[in-house]
Every structure is written in structure tokens, then in C-alpha cells.
Amino acid sequence: MYLFTPLQITIQPILPAWVSMQDFQAFKELLNTPKNIIIVTHHKPDADALGSSLGLWGYLKKKGHRVTVITPSDYPDFLHWMKGNDEVLIYEKSKKTAINQLIDSADIIFCLDFSNLHRINELGEHVGQSDAVKVLVDHHLDPEDFATYKFWSIEAAATAELIYELIMSLGDAELIDQDIAEALYAGIMTDTGSFQHSNTTQNVHRITASLIEFGADTHKVARSIYNSNTLDRLRFIGFSLSQRLEVLAGLNVALFAISKQDLAMFNSKTGDTEGLVNYALSIRGIVLAALMIDHGELIKISFRSVGDFPANELAQKYFNGGGHKNAAGGRSTKFKKLLPSFKSKLTSSSK
């Protein structure tokens, strides 16, 4: 016997503020008949990119569509448990002409967890040129104007949160099963830093409660993502902390600079550097943390900040990147490659 009526967590299909009614009706109708659907997400997908994609994949398949998830590049092993992982097409590793044909014949292309076509590398050109209806679902700043339907909110902690709300708004709560719930939960869990970042809103907790109602095994998801280290990875983290972490005292900045050789020494695989930047941010008093990884052609940079420091502005202005206020990233070409553009100034300067 309950003393009180148990709380009904499942949210009724009310249209969230970030969806315009006009868009939504047309979008809903579009999904009423079977379509060829492609879902693409960003380069080096994280748990939100892949979780929102595979959550949506599971849902759309149940709705009777033909659905393919395409990622520009591979992603960490610790995401391979998600249902549908075996069917993901990795552009870099596949026959590109076959994937380009799939894109050309798609009726709808969902673009998840990114706002600018350059985030999907070469795929961006094909997606941009395709005649398919494009649907953007994302929570990053300044979306590029390429989509027919834009389901976009920077208030959302994760794209998975938006996918959940879309499915609920479409009145399809009963289609959310354990696999879909776990993929979406993974996205929310990681994009909120395990419910620690300031984006962990009431809505986040309501939605995750609801995902648990739908069968998500939160312990399994957390274990799969966080407790699946290889010894190499742990040794790499230890090495980076002791040998590669630098604190710029007086500036409240901490940074890691990781070389190609460092990566090779620990047999580094995709995902092994994920989360490393957070150790730099965890130092008392640090406002900005950076992780620079030399991949040869490019140096990939991750930024994390606390409070008002806009990491995304820094990434956008100087590193051809972007992101959120407190978590951003970008890239830089090698210093040596930049030098020719300064050649005249360098050679004409008197010593």
C-alpha cells in the first residue's frame, strides 16, 4: 500500500518551447509514411553524438522507416555496447561511393549534435548538396543555416535530451524501449559530466527519471562507459598527469600537450584521451583547462572552463572551432606550417 500516489514521472506530450508548432506539424506528417532516413553525427562521436543517433535510429526503425547511421570517423570502444552499433557505417572506413549513394537516395537526413557541416568533414559536402529534407537536432551555438527543420536549443544539456523530447512530443512514448532509453541516457549522463555540470537542470533529472522508467539500466551504462579502461589507457593517464600537465600560475590555466610519440608509446586508441582535460580543470583555482594533442597534420585542442569564461569564443576566434561556454574545441595546423605566411615579416625584420 502506498501512503501517497506514486509520482508519475513520464511527461505528457507537450511541445517544448524550442519547437515551432508549424514546423512540428509538417515534420510529424513527414514521418507518417515509411522513408529512407540517414542519421549523421559529428567527427569522433562522443556518447551524446552516438547515443542520440542510435536512440533515434531505434525509434525510427520501430516506426517503420529504413534508417542508417553514418559517422564521419570511428569512435571509442566503450560506446560499442549500444544497440545498433554493428550497423553504423563509418565513412572513413567504408566504400565512400556506396555511402554517397545512400545519401543521394535519402528522403530525410537527420544531423545530430553538430551545427556546422564542417564538423562532419567530407560528408558535409554530400549532405549539403543532397535534396533530402534535412533535420537538425542540436544544442550547440550558432547553427549553420542548412536544415529544413531546426530542432535546436542551447538550453538542452545534450542532444539526447532533445531526441527524447521529440519522441515524446510525437506522442510515441510507447516506442521507447530499454535500448533506446539507455542510448539516450548515455548521452545525457556524459554531456552533463555525470550530472555534475551546471547544465544539469530539473528537466535533465526528470528526463533521466523517465528513461529509467522506460527500462534504462543506469548502472550498466555508467559501468560500460567509465569502467572499461585498458591498462594502457590508465598508464597513459598516469604519464600525462606526471609528465605532460603544466600549470600557468597567475593565469589560472592548466594544460596538457600530448605528442604523437606519447600516443604511440601507450598504444593509444580512439577515446583514450577522452576526459583527460577534466583533470586539468579539477586543480583548485583553475579557470581554463586545455588539452592539445598532436595528430601530425593537425593539433586537436579541447578546452574546458568554469564560470563565465567563454571557452567557445576562444576556440572560435583562434582555433577554427567552437562549442559550449564551458566545453569547446578546435584545431590548429602546425606552427611550422603557419610560418610561410609570415615569411616576409620574418625575413625582413632586423635582428
Residue 138's binding partner, choosing from ligand 5GP, Mn ion, none, with beta-carbon cut-off 5 to 8 A by kind? Answer: none
Residue 154 CB, nearest approach to Mn ion (Å): 11
Quote the CA–CA distance of 242 and 72 in Å, as a whole number.
Answer: 33
Residue 165 within binding range of Mn ion, rule CB under 5 A: no
Structural contact between residues 83 and 54, judged by C-beta atoms closer than 8 angstroms: yes
Residue 330's binding partner, choosing from Mn ion, ligand 5GP, none, with beta-carbon cut-off 5 to 8 A by kind? Answer: ligand 5GP
Q: Which residues in this chain contact ligand 5GP in the complex, by CB under 6 A?
A: 116, 119, 140, 302, 321-324, 327-331
**Residue count, binding to Mn ion (CB under 5 A):** 4
Residue 330 CB, nearest approach to ligand 5GP (Å): 5
Residue 190 CB, nearest approach to Mn ion (Å): 8
Judged by CB under 5 A, the residue of 16, 106, 110, 113 near Mn ion is 113
Closest CA to 43 of 236, 331, 256, 332: 331
Residue 327's binding partner, choosing from ligand 5GP, Mn ion, none, with beta-carbon cut-off 5 to 8 A by kind? Answer: ligand 5GP
Residue 179 within binding range of Mn ion, rule CB under 5 A: no
- CB-based closest residue to ligand 5GP: 329
**Residue 138 zone, left/alpha/beta (φ > 0; ψ -120 to 50; rest):** beta
In angstroms, how far is the first alpha carbon of the chain from the final one? 87
Backbone angles phi, psi at 109, to 5 degrees: -120, 120
Residue 32 CB, nearest approach to Mn ion (Å): 28
Q: Which is nearer to ligand 5GP, 199 or 210 (CB)?
A: 199
C-alpha cell at 15: 511541445
Structural contact between residues 137 and 148, judged by C-beta atoms closer than 8 angstroms: no
- CA 277 from chain centre, in angstroms, equals 16
